Structure 1
Amino acid sequence: MREGPGPGAVRKYPRTHHLPDSPGATGDDRMVTDLDGLTGELVVTEKMDGGNVTFTRDLMYARSVDSGTHAWDRPAKALWARVAHEIPDGWRVCGESMWARRSVAYTDLPGVFLVFAVWDGTHTLRGWDETAEWAALLDLPLVPVLYRGTDLATARAAWSRQRDADYSEGFVVRTAAPLPEAEFGRQVAKWVRAQHVRTPATWRHRDDFAVNGFVR
């Protein structure tokens, strides 16, 4: 795997640790050992049931960087071809590829690629306001925002007030400010519903997989 800033570089999206009360965590997952990093202004976004995909100026790739491009990512790849020239060298725009239906059936998505992170050439996760600005510049929708504020207890309760485990996978909470990649494990965390994967793995080997619904 090639790493580092500059054209053509491939850098895998960091693993997001689970909150201590995340029912979807398994023995292979990493947990947040303390919540001291989740201070200041926080943003809670819905954890979408899609595929983690990265856009750079030169490449589009999944979190499993050697997995190649699959049929269910074709619409996202078409978007990447349209916006790639506007992404600065060494920057990464990360989001969920949402065309294929997995364990959650969505009916009114705003697009086939939903942005949740923007990294600059120093491997700094840009702040949420700048993430929103870049998404708007590229004409790409963001993942839904469920809460923004300074109270961690309210942030952690936002998903259950607005979503249901039958129709939503969970949430991600992060600090709203920029943060270096080394701090990602302390300042970004997720909560995932129990048994969040509810689709047989065989769908990945089919060409007639179900697709989500989108806003017209």
Structure 2
Amino acid sequence: MIRLHHSPQTRSMRTLWLLHELDVPFEVLTYPFDATLQRPEYLAMSPVGRVPALEIDGEVMFETGAIAEYLCERFSPDGLGRAPGSTERMEWLTWVHFAETLSVHVAALTQQHVMLFQDEMRSPVIMKLEAKRLAKCYAAVEAKLTKGFAERYILQGGFSAADIGLGQAIYMGTHFAALDDYPAVAEWYARMVARPAFIASLPAPGQGIYDQAFYDWRAWQ
């Protein structure tokens, strides 16, 4: 039995997309992104009250990178994963976990633009810095996609959980930093968000964190 504890437009979307791509049976329990995640019953699964939490065969996991590694090794080691011994194993691990580097900056921007309800608590300086750091992450992905050849996916061997992790993080990131200066990323991203499994992981109308398509730090100067 696989049960995903999920909040729309959070890191748990990464795991939800992966589960849809794996095409394995699973159940989703959806939570609002609020104090519900601090209840004792949820903290028993995710000790700092964050999503996702993944129940699988009586055990619980709560880190998206670890979840991606485990699910791929179990269900798709040579498809969405890259098994130990694969020539792409090192690259796969690097880019699976680089998704979290992106997500750290997205989380900071989400806090500044969305979660802080009082304007005096917001910092245009932090907004600007984090948006620029996010853009540096885009530049790293752009360099990978254009390194001597035009890659269709992050790895030459084909679509993998690395594309899923990065695709979800960039989906969140595009609320704060546009892809205009990163044509290879934009072309790759357009194909990622057209995948049926990505579409299946999107929130229903009105259920996500963001009520705007784009949040511009310049509005707070």
Q: Does the TM-score normalized on the shorter chain lie above 0.5?
A: no
Please give the TM-score of this superposition, normalised by the length of structure 1.
Answer: 0.29
Please give the TM-score of this superposition, normalised by the length of structure 2.
Answer: 0.29
More strand by share: 1
- Which protein, 1 or 2, shows the higher relative CO under an 8 Å CA cutoff with sep ≥ 6? 1
